[in-house]
Amino acid sequence: MYSRWDALLAAFVFVVALAVNLHSVPTTEFHRDEARWIHRARFLEQAANPTGPYWRESELVIGQPPLGSFLMGLGLLLQGRDLHTNGYYDFHYGQDWNARHGNLPDPLDLEAARRTNSVVGALIAMTIYLIGRGLLNPVAGLAGAALLIPHALSVYLSSLAGSDAIVALLVAWAALAAMFLAQRPTWARAVLLGVLLGLGGSAKLSPLGLVAPLAAAGLVLIWRGWRGTDAAAQHDGALGWRLLALPPVAAATFIASYPFLWPDPIGRTLDLLRFRTLEMTNQGNIWGDLKIDGPVDAAGRIYNWLGVVDSVTGEAIGNVTQPLGIAFRPMWLDLALAVMGAVILLGLAVRHGLGSRWSLALLVLAGEVALVIAGMRADFSRYLLPVLVANAVCGGLVFGVLWQLVARRVAWARRSPLAQADRPPLANEGVTV
């Protein structure tokens, strides 16, 4: 599925994305959420005592799953900082009050935390290349990365301290791991996919929901494997059993990563879900203009952010046409490409079957988009990075298909003269009369 050239291209994508993200670190406007994420970097230190009093029920430990906080702590330590950061930022008071009480992060801690997410954002871009390459060809991967790297939302969340980038990375990794699992269904690859989904839940909960469509696909594949006897049926049966193992593996990973859940995994997980649902609802109530009334409204808000406010292709075309005096800036083009690419991916999935890498990638990416739409209660663009990842992958497929069509046309044109030369002459053709 990959060659050594893909490693070089993936590394190139990573370096370019990292440079773009790091360039924005000093200029990104401070967000008060960053103060809380940097404060929670101490979660990493407290993980050494998972049964200690720190993990008792409180707004601090139930407010967010811990993986993003672990990431912030690890990033600080790797850059020579410590985990004794600022105090807990109180949203009931303004920035001046919190500054007086030591709740603003040290500028060096802030930059280190932001640089951590710059690396995460670069890994997302690299993974998009690998997904596009595995689904179609290198052009699809490069185009997908190009649709993500300069996107304003990607640059912003990759130069901000928080957990939104890591959840998008884990979703992208899960899609790639699902492709590898479909290619060769081993238990090791199944466990890896389950762990990634569990860690995704430990970052933002929603990736845990992906075990449902994947396990459902597993049941269908087991049935197919039971009915058939050929190699394809054996492959589908083996893959089906491994997909059916994802829910327990993901759940175990999620619980193991979150010491707060250990005393009562089921009860406290339900408490966590209720708390997060209430918090999302309160966000919509506090900021009335941001309240989302159902999935249709959520889809409309996504269109606004990714099809009106920000667009890589729309901005690029506008920058070319504006000096020519032409007012044409098709901000909708990114989403149009994503829809066309989704149709291409669906067609590939249908052609190659449910047990193919195309189908499993589709289940992961489309499933995460559906979960984001279903779960949105407040119109915050930072929730949309996984959607942007899916858009970039699908948009890249359009360019990959166009490249294939052009390459075939060129190859056909080159072969035609050779075929003409090799063809035996007709009567009187090429013969002097």
Do residues 180 and 189 lie in contact, with contact meaning Cβ atoms separated by under 8 Å? yes
Per residue in 221-261, pLDDT (tens digit) is 999 999 888 899 999 999 999 999 999 999 999 999 999 99
422 in a domain, yes or no?
no
- Tell me which of 149-153, 277-281, 404-408 is least confident: 277-281
Q: How many CB atoms lie within 10 A of CB 187?
A: 12
State the chain's mean pLDDT as an integer. Answer: 92
310 in a domain, yes or no?
yes
The C-alpha angle with vertex 171 and arms to 336 and 121, in degrees rounded to 5, equals 80
The number of folded domains in the chain is 1
pTM above 0.75, yes or no: yes
Please give the share of the chain, as a percent, with pLDDT higher than 90: 80
Do residues 307 and 335 lie in contact, with contact meaning Cβ atoms separated by under 8 Å? yes
Per residue in 51-91, pLDDT (tens digit) is 999 998 777 788 789 999 999 999 999 999 999 999 999 98
Helices (H), 53-186: 59-62, 67-78, 95-100, 107-135, 138-148, 152-157, 164-183
Mean pLDDT of 366-381: 91
pLDDT(422) > 60: no
Mean pLDDT of 206-229: 95
Q: Is 188 exposed, middle or buried (0-12, 13-18, 19+ CB in 10 A)?
A: exposed
- 289: tokens are 């203009």
Mean pLDDT of 328-349: 97
- 298: tokens are 């959520």
The conformational region for residue 140 under phi > 0 = left, psi -120 to 50 = alpha, else beta, is alpha
Q: Which residues contact 248 (CB under 8 A, 6 or more apart)?
A: 194
SS3 at position 42: helix
| Secondary-structure breakdown of the chain: helix, strand, coil percentages, each rounded to the nearest 5 | 75, 0, 25
Task: Please give the Cα distance from 263 to 281 (Å, whole number).
Answer: 27
Q: What is the pLDDT of residue 417?
A: 63
Q: Which domain holds residue 14?
A: 4-408
pLDDT(301) > 80: yes
